[in-house]
Amino acid sequence: MEDHQDIAFQPVILGTDIGTYALAVSFHQRWKVKPTIVTTQILGPIMFSGIIDTRVVDIHGLPDPDSEMPLIDGLIALAPKLQKDYSGKKLLLIANIDSNVRDIMRRAEELRKYYAFAFPSLKIIEDTSDKVKFPRLAAEHGLNVPQTLEIDFSGSLEGELAKLEQVGEPFPWIIKPATSAGYERLKWPGKAKVYTVSNKEEAQKLLANLYQHTHENPHARRFVLQPRVEGNDSFNLSVTTYVDQNSRVTMLGSAQVLLEDHSPTALGNPVAMITEPYPRLYEQVSSFLKGVGWHGFANFDFKVDSRTGIAYCFEVNPRIGRNSYYNTSAGMNPMKFFVEDVVEGKAVSPQHLAKRVYYSILPKRLVLRYVDKQMGKKIKTLYRQKKNHDPLFYPADFGFSMRGLKRFGYVMIARENHWRKYHHNYPVAKFREGETRSLDTAALTRP
């Protein structure tokens, strides 16, 4: 393990959530360095931590109090102080929230005066986040996506309704906005992020309603319609990658999601996973990333249709993902690839995740309620083998100091609070109303 005094860089991480803390742990675990976390507020996941250097941006103290990018303004204002505090070290910037990544690339020229970072271009970010453009890019570069129909209300409603004849069975279908930015600002009764329709009549009625509320807004009048991919939480898969400055995919990691967060503010975030390799998905994502000219981390969300066994990609995020620590847990620390590329400029050999570990922020007994017996046996076996990992449970951040005890107390309380959250948002009875079989990934792990 290197002495942190000899490290040629200082990590600077934007955020305050579990994913932010997990990134800090990954840096601290490998280099014993205390990353700097820049945030506008301190929330539980980074509270009382002794392994981070926290800098809070005072939004009201910025030159422009009405700025649309206060965190970026704060990051730039803070840069001279960080350069002084970490003299001679390269400031290595990383973000794990889509809006922060986008803002960094919008202000890339200013930020590069102080910080080193690796993200796709702003055009690539915008094209891949557009739910109309992404399926086209995916099809062009070998990534499997669900059939997608574009609905554009810049013309007549009748013309768009006629497109419904192009969509075949089976129902239900999903209807969602092509881009979220403009759509999120609109309000009306019954508005949702995603809609489900059971037949063409429901689709026609919903589209007529959406037309009424969005057709005059150029930034919110495009939608996509896709067949719903069936399956419970365990049919979701995550793939994490890193692409270096020479367009080489140097890191490929993946995991099966066992259970997602079902609370309204964090809906869909994986909270229990088992790591394992998916060679055929690795081929797909590698082809896509090279084809579009990616640089930096990418996180892909896949779902296997429980009826057909086909794995479909839903989206790619221009960041490492909230659950990146599952890679570190399995012995493949993603920060190593980032540092070797951006700081050291090394052309490293590509590495694929190979170990199976259990990653979760929930109590084991809670997760066991939401998986079948076979999956339950896998979880219990990994616990017996001591291959279970929680990114918040980092012993180096505990201890007999008041701070260390407070940190330990927070982690224990946060873990136990999930019992209440699941009882309220996703009771076992609701889970049992649908398919309770967990996905068997054996076919996906074969070359």
Judged against a pLDDT cut of 60, whether residue 5 lies above it is answered with no
What stretch of H or E contains 287?
helix 279-292
Asked, for residue 21, whether it belongs to a domain, the answer is yes
Asked, for residue 142, whether it belongs to a domain, the answer is no
Mean pLDDT of the 378-382 span: 98
| Enclosing domain of residue 192 | 147-227
Judged against a pLDDT cut of 50, whether residue 2 lies above it is answered with no
Q: Are 88 and 109 in contact (CB under 8 A)?
A: no
Do 273 and 174 share a structural domain?
Answer: no
Do 240 and 210 share a structural domain?
Answer: no
What is the rounded CA–CA span in Å between residue 33 and residue 110? Answer: 26
Mean pLDDT of the 267-283 span: 95
Mean pLDDT of the 59-76 span: 84
Asked, for residue 238, whether it belongs to a domain, the answer is yes
CATH code: domain of residue 92: 3.40.50
At 55 the pLDDT is 95
Mean pLDDT of the chain, nearest integer: 93
Mean pLDDT of the 235-243 span: 98
What stretch of H or E contains 112?
none
**Number of folded domains that form the chain:** 3
Do 328 and 354 share a structural domain?
Answer: yes
Do 317 and 282 share a structural domain?
Answer: yes
At 169 the pLDDT is 67
Cα pseudo-dihedral 379, 385, 387, 392, rounded to 10: 90
Do 279 and 214 share a structural domain?
Answer: no
Do 289 and 326 share a structural domain?
Answer: yes
Judged against a pLDDT cut of 80, whether residue 4 lies above it is answered with no
Do 281 and 206 share a structural domain?
Answer: no
Asked, for residue 141, whether it belongs to a domain, the answer is no
Asked, for residue 136, whether it belongs to a domain, the answer is no
The pTM of the full predicted model, rounded to 2 decimals, is 0.92
Q: What is the pLDDT of residues 280-308, one digit of tens each?
A: 999 999 999 999 999 999 999 999 999 99
Q: Are 123 and 374 in contact (CB under 8 A)?
A: no
Do 62 and 191 share a structural domain?
Answer: no
At 3 the pLDDT is 40
The helix/strand/coil state of 355 is: coil
With bands split at pLDDT 50, 70 and 90, how would you rate the model's confidence at 266? confident
What is the rounded CA–CA span in Å between residue 378 and residue 360? Answer: 14
Mean pLDDT of the 100-106 span: 95
Q: What is the pLDDT of residues 169-208, one digit of tens each?
A: 678 999 999 988 788 889 999 888 889 999 999 999 999 9
Do 99 and 60 share a structural domain?
Answer: yes
At 58 the pLDDT is 84
C-alpha neighbours within 13 Å on the C-beta side of residue 429: 3
CATH code: domain of residue 216: 3.30.1490.20
With a pLDDT cut of 70, the percent of the chain lying above it is 98
Cα pseudo-dihedral 280, 281, 284, 286, rounded to 10: -100
Q: Are 343 and 11 in contact (CB under 8 A)?
A: no
DSSP state of 198: S
Do 432 and 293 share a structural domain?
Answer: yes
Judged against a pLDDT cut of 50, whether residue 327 lies above it is answered with yes
At 1 the pLDDT is 33
Do 410 and 379 share a structural domain?
Answer: yes
Asked, for residue 353, whether it belongs to a domain, the answer is yes
Q: Domain ends where: 117, 139, 174?
A: 117
Asked, for residue 125, whether it belongs to a domain, the answer is no
Do 380 and 310 share a structural domain?
Answer: yes
Question: How would you class 432 by CB atoms within 10 Å of its CB: exposed for 0-12, middle for 13-18, buried for 19 or more?
Answer: exposed
Q: Domain ends where: 99, 117, 135?
A: 117
Asked, for residue 179, whether it belongs to a domain, the answer is yes
Q: Domain ends where: 193, 227, 261?
A: 227
CATH code: domain of residue 390: 3.30.470.20
Helices 133-140 and 122-129: angle between axes, nearest 10 degrees? 100
